[in-house]
Amino acid sequence: MAISTDTGPVTRDDATLTTGIPIEREADALTIGRRIRHLRTRRGMTLEQLGAAIGRAPSQVSMLENGKREPTIARLQAVARALGATVEDLLSAEPPSHRDALEIELERVQRGSLFSALGVHPVKVGKSLPTDALEAIVGLQRELERLHSERALTPEEARRANTELRADMRAQDNYFPDLEIVARGLLDDVGHGRGPLPQRAVGELAAHLGFSIHYEPDLPQSTRAVIDQRHRRVYLPSNGIRGRSEARSAVLQALASHVLEHAEPRDYREFLRQRVEANYLCAALLVPEREAVKQLREAKERRSISLEDLRDAFAVSYETVAHRFTNLATRHLGIPVHFMKVHESGSIHKAYENDGVRFPADPLGTVEGQHVCRHWTARVVFGIADRLSPYYQYTDTPTGTYWCTSRVQDTPDGRFSVSVGVPYAQVKWFLGRETTARSTSRCPDEACCRRPAAPLARRWDGHAFPSARPHASMLAAMPSGAFPGVDTTEVYEFLERHAPSADG
């Protein structure tokens, strides 16, 4: 993962010498090599002659021409002098010929993960390979990539990607140390020390990264924020952001993708990972690790951990602090934990666990879109009239007893419960452990809550035909386009409307 805390991407030390032209990494070494070979053969030089001119062995020149060695600026300057060319000639991204373009494409393909997964031997790319054969191989590879992309857009592949990502998060306790370091550096850059991150500091952080913030009423409905990379602008809706915490989060999530150098995702797996990273960095900025861990450790010593206290200390939403607690609880407090965001219909919108609780899942292991047991805290809380106080409950399940704290939040998409739970052995550290609310869940046994009572079943079986309402979490598993759920045409039209007039 590439990380930058400055206004531009991280670059190599040797890319800023004489010319100021950056050398790309391994992929573009192929193009540089082909341009060197093209200029060498046009001048009638052999590998030995060019090697002698730059003080290198012919084998080293060959590796350079085949893109197997990344050149330094000093090496390119020597080659350019020997060939009567300029460094800019060698660094041009344009392949010197159609044949070279095909060879470069095939070489890149054969070095990629998709080709490696096929388990076939690579084709030697050389003069003996006819151009028509080269065109056919490249054409077949393009078709293979197209079919692979189509397969990646199926609901099954999307769900599989989601399941794999959750497993990765569980393996590292949902803790990303690199992102914590980036967040700490950004906060230091704007001089933020303790307490809630004010909107003023968010604006200063945007300016530090080279962006200005603009509020517009016609932001596309499918977006929460839009970044204009060309003019270094962050666009937010002038209506529809609910509260100060939401406004800060929208800006920080947009900036996080820039800081982490996220490019257009190649598949749904990358899209999900980018979203997780952006959300994590945003939360790490709003609830800094050092101060949050200090507060949580002190609360653990007093046996009075409270998500409400953490929420109030940093002036963030309950959902943000619940997410943040899952980042820090296991790594810093030794507490395994689970998290759920559940729609009032009962379907899971987001979930994470490393404490052994068994979420409902489909055959591929996907949790999102599945219905939670009616006896779990995340469902029971919708029937609690007191919305001011947190709701606590013990739930006996087939995998053990869990204690949960939960709250209901209203959104434009309906009501959602946000719940954090721990195994019974860990409840001693939390406020609310004295609750007498207790329930029993036998799910996935259908007799628990999914099977209608016998009198109802006898009366209505065969006489009901409901029309299901599609939910966002189900549609999210059916990706379309580079940014699922986003209307790209609307985004481009919006940027065109609001681009500075001088841009023409």
Q: How far apart are CA 192 and CA 183, in angstroms?
A: 11
> Is 291 in a helix, a strand, or coil?
helix
Give residue 81's pLDDT.
92
102-129 as b/e: b if 16+ CB within 10 A: bbbbbbbbbeeeebeeeeeeeeebeeeb
**Model confidence at 457: pLDDT above 60:** yes
Give residue 467's pLDDT.
66
> Is 190 in a helix, a strand, or coil?
coil
Question: How confident is the model over 481-501, as pLDDT tens digits?
Answer: 556 566 778 888 888 888 887
Q: At what angle do helices 243-259 and 268-286 cross, to 10 degrees?
A: 120
Give residue 93's pLDDT.
80
Confidence of residue 415 (pLDDT cuts 50, 70, 90): very high
Confidence of residue 240 (pLDDT cuts 50, 70, 90): low
Q: What mean pLDDT is reported for the chain?
A: 83
With DSSP H G I counted as helix, E B as strand and the rest as coil, what are the percentages for the chain, rounded to 5? 50, 10, 40
- Chain-centre distance of CA 471, in angstroms? 22
- Structure token digits, residue 497: 């409307």
pTM: 0.68
Give residue 426's pLDDT.
97
Label each residue of 121-184 as H, E or C: CCCCCCCCCCHHHHHHHHHHHHHHHHHHHHHHCCHHHHHHHHHHHHHHHHHCCCCCHHHHHHHH
Confidence of residue 478 (pLDDT cuts 50, 70, 90): very low
Of 121-125, 328-332, 411-415, give the lowest mean pLDDT range.
121-125
Which secondary structure element, helix H or strand E, spans residue 215, and what is its range?
strand 212-216
Question: How confident is the model over 61-79, as pLDDT tens digits?
Answer: 888 888 878 788 888 899 9
Of 3-17, 45-59, 362-376, give the lowest mean pLDDT range.
3-17
Give residue 18's pLDDT.
33
> Region 207-234: what's the mean pLDDT?
88
DSSP 21: P
Give residue 502's pLDDT.
59
**Model confidence at 26: pLDDT above 70:** no
Q: How far apart are CA 171 and CA 169, in angstroms?
A: 5
